[in-house]
Structures are given as C-alpha cells and as structure tokens.
C-alpha cells in the first residue's frame, strides 16, 4: 500500500512537471507568433547589420555567452512587448563563428519570477542556464534568487523544479544577481553580484558538486566606499597566467576623464587561490572600454581563446531607436589578451568575411570625404606627431561624431558634439599605430593600435555614413563596405 501511495505521488509530480513544461512551451509558441507578426512594423533606419539586436522590443545585458554542441550561443535580457524595459525574458541567438548570427526561439519566459541575467554552461549533453529570478513584492520591495534551467538540444529549456537553488546571500541583501558559472576540477563555481548593508558593491563566490546545492566560500571583492553601491555582472577567469576579475560597478563618481558614463565596466588583475578562495588584486580597477556605450560585459573561452561581448548601450540615456519598435544592441565580439597589466581587445579574424567590397584605398586628403552605405570598416594611418581629426556624419543629417588625436597630450578623443559627451583616453601604442574603425547603422567602434584603447559608442546618423578628413595632413585610408550577418 505504501509503495502504491509513493507511486501515485511520483506520478502526480511527473504529470505536474510535464504540464508546467507544456505551459511554458505554449507561452513561447504564442510569443514567437507575436514576434513574427510585429517584425514588419520595425523601422530599420538605425537597425544594426552585423551586431545582435532584438527582432522587436527591448534588449539589454548579454547572458549565457557559451559554446554547446558545435555552436556559440548568446542569450540576452529581452522584453518583446515594448521597446522599453519590462518583465525580463531571455532572447537567444546562435553562431558558428561569432560573426554570423541566427535568431532562435525565446529561451526563458517569466512566470512568478522575472528572468534576470545569468550564464550558461555545457554539462555533458545538458545545456544549463543559471539565472537570477527576481520576484517583486509590494511597496517597491523585491528579492533575487538563483535559478536553473536545462536543455538537451540548445533550444527548448525546462526550468528546474527545485528552484531556487540559491535563495539569498549571507547578509540577506535583496540585491543578489548575475551568476557567472564555471567548472574547475570536480567543482562548479559561481560568482554573484551583491552589496553590503551600507550599500557598498561586492561579489560573492560559491561552489557546488551538482549545481543544485551551493556552499558560500568568500567575498571575492568589495568596494571600499568609492567604488559604487552595487557590483553587477561579475566574471572571474584566468588569462595569460593571471586572474582577471570583471564587474560593472554602479554609482562611481567621475574622476577627471575617467568614469564618465553613468555606470562602468572594468576589471582588476590579480591572483586567485582555489584553496583559500581569496582573490588578491595587483592593480587598481581599469575600464575595459572608453566609449559612451559599453556595459554588463560577459566573457567565454573556447579553443584556447577568450572572447568578450557587452550591451552596446547604457542605463538612463536616450534610446532614439525606441520609437522604431526596438531598443538595444550588442557590441561586436572581441578576442581579449593580457599585455602587462592591460587587457587588449581585437576584432575577430572572422570579421574579414564581412568585407563585401573595397570602396577606398590610398590617400584621403585634407577636407576630402568618403561616403559609405550603412556599414563600413576603415583602417586609418597617419603621422602621430601631428594632429588627426575625422568627422563622421550622416549624408542626410542626424547625429555626428568627431575622432581626434592630439600628440601634445597623447589622447584619443571621441566627441559626439556635446560638452559632457566627450570621451578620451591616453594612448601609448605598443606596436601598431593604426586605427581600425567599424561603422554600423547607429554605432561606431574604434580600435587603436593593437586594441589597447577601444571606444564603443552609439551614434545615430540619417542616411549613409560620410567620413571627412579634417586633419591638416593626408591620411592613408583603406575602407570596405560590410555585408549583413544577422539573420532576422
């Protein structure tokens, strides 16, 4: 009799789990029909051609940047029903080479919990998502916990019935989000963003044998009071013999030309011990990108290479594309390496496949212009003992940007034409003295030299791009039109 009761209970549990999965898939099917029906209403004037954007609606942080069964996967914070932030889903794209991207069905839809940021990892044949479930209460109160979801095909995901697997941090802060998971020897490890009782950002480290039961190990890093009130999107990994601790501190005050964005993304180089669980910094926090729009980065490693991608926007800024039925983009994927105590970012070799035709080779004389369509790649060489100034503008107006080099102060400048909208950084070339500039319909990415200084900024021109040499010197320019690589 006892066995029969147990069997009935187990049968009921299995039926309930299957019913919940069917309900989730029904919700996703309805959502995908909605997305398809709304795509024709999107205005493409600013829609990017080789950067990941949402098919419709809102996109922010990259999630689950990973490799599974022969393909790269990228998920993202997604609200399909409006071009502004809302209850978070997980959008999903895949790629064979991190350049050609295919849109896949929405991976996670909110139920009682909103599906906030997290990471993904392959565990044998299973593809595991670890994400933050946020539950809003009354009076603007909320709490955040860590959830799991599983897939055996990389497309359909089932939420773990034992969620949450990590209910709260040791101090019970409601801010407890953005798990980044990895495996070392027999254990799974995860770093999670949080803060202290007196609102100083910090990052927590846990480990587990099965990803379901987690033990708190240590505080990897914590603000001393001038590094912001919350540390989001942490990441800890080994790179070229050192450990790199990435995070996005919110609430840092500007210091001269540094920390000019509302929130920052950067890293600390140091050492980490898997016996003591202690991270020891060796250099101070450095920004990874010096442009206007680079936040919430996530990295992944495959085939001995470490790649990075980030949200190509920022919080609390205008989003001109919002009135067109979509908002938000991802940066290009870059390969990163460590040179001394600085991370360099390089465009992927596979980006060369996007060069559709050469549109300029040779001298671009002072006050001479070259016009692109919506996309372009430009390699620029000049005499760094003299000033360099380039104007980027739309053929039909809209927003503009100026790129400058001043040898007297040794700084590269990206200026969007408003006093508070200037970003600049000292540049000491380590080898190459070229600039490599990538243009898309509403974005610029400037790589200086070997990628030791990079600027990523959204700019919204009308019509085609026009580049004009405002320098007094001629510049050696090689320019290409880039084809579309996003399957919409």
Decide if 224 contacts 201 (C-beta within 8 A): no
Q: What strand order describes the sheet that includes 376-381?
A: 355-364, 475-482, 376-381, 435-440, 443-448, 453-458
- For 403-410, the CB contacts below 8 A with 24+ separation are 403/435, 403/437, 403/446
Q: Is 61 a catalytic residue?
A: yes
Distance from C-alpha of 261 to C-alpha of 315, rounded to nearest angstrom: 9
**C-alpha to C-alpha distances, 239 to 305, 342, 385, 453, nearest whole angstrom:** 9, 11, 34, 18
Bridge partners, residue 343, by sequence: 338
DSSP-based three-state secondary structure for 92: strand
**C-alpha to C-alpha distances, 150 to 117, 213, 435, nearest whole angstrom:** 16, 16, 43
Q: What backbone torsions phi and psi does residue 37 show, to the nearest 5 degrees?
A: -70, -25
CA R_g for the chain: 23
**Catalytic pick among 26, 61, 235, 240:** 61
Residues annotated as catalytic are 61
């Amino acid at each position: 009799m006892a066995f029969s009761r147990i069997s009935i209970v187990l049968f009921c549990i299995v039926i309930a789990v299957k019913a919940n999965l069917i309900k989730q898939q029904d919700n996703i099917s309805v959502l995908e029909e909605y997305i398809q029906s709304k795509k024709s209403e999107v205005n493409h004037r600013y829609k990017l051609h080789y950067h990941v954007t949402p098919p419709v609606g809102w996109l922010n942080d990259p999630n689950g940047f990973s490799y599974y069964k022969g393909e790269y996967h990228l998920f993202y914070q997604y609200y399909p029903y409006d071009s502004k932030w809302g209850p978070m889903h997980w959008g999903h794209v895949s790629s064979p080479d991190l350049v050609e991207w295919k849109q896949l069905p929405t991976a996670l839809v909110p139920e009682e919990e909103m599906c906030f940021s997290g990471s993904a990892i392959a565990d044998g044949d299973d593809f595991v998502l670890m994400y933050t479930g946020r539950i809003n209460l009354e009076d603007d109160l909320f709490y955040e916990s860590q959830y799991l979801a599983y897939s055996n095909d990389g497309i359909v995901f089932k939420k773990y019935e034992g969620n949450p697997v990590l209910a709260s941090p040791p101090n019970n802060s409601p801010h407890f989000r953005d798990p980044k998971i990895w495996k070392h020897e027999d254990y799974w490890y995860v770093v999670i963003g949080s803060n202290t009782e007196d609102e100083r950002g910090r990052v927590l480290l846990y480990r587990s044998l099965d990803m379901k039961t987690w033990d708190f190990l240590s505080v990897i890093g914590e603000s001393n009071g001038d590094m912001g009130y919350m540390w989001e999107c942490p990441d800890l990994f080994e790179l070229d013999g050192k450990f790199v601790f990435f995070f996005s501190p919110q609430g840092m005050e500007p210091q001269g030309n540094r920390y000019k964005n509302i929130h920052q993304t950067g890293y600390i180089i140091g050492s980490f011990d898997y016996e003591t669980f202690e991270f020891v910094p060796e250099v101070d926090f450095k920004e990874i990108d010096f442009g206007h729009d680079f936040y919430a980065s996530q990295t992944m490693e495959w085939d001995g290479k470490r790649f990075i991608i980030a949200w190509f926007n920022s919080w609390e800024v205008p989003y001109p594309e919002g009135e067109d039925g979509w908002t938000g983009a991802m940066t290009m994927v870059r390969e990163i390496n460590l040179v001394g105590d600085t991370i360099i970012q390089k465009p992927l070799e596979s980006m060369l496949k996007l060069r559709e035709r050469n549109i300029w080779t040779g001298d671009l004389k002072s006050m001479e212009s070259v016009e692109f369509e919506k996309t372009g790649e430009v390699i620029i060489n000049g005499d760094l003992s003299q000033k360099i100034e380039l104007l980027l503008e739309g053929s039909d107006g809209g927003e503009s940007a100026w790129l400058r080099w001043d040898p007297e102060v040794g700084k590269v400048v990206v200026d969007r034409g408003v006093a508070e909208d200037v970003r600049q950084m000292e540049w000491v070339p380590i080898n190459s003295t070229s600039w490599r500039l990538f243009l898309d319909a509403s974005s610029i990415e400037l790589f200086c030299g070997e990628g030791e200084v990079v600027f990523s900024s959204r700019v919204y021109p009308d019509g085609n791009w026009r580049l004009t040499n405002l320098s007094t010197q001629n510049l050696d320019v090689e320019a290409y039109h880039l084809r579309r690589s996003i399957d919409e």
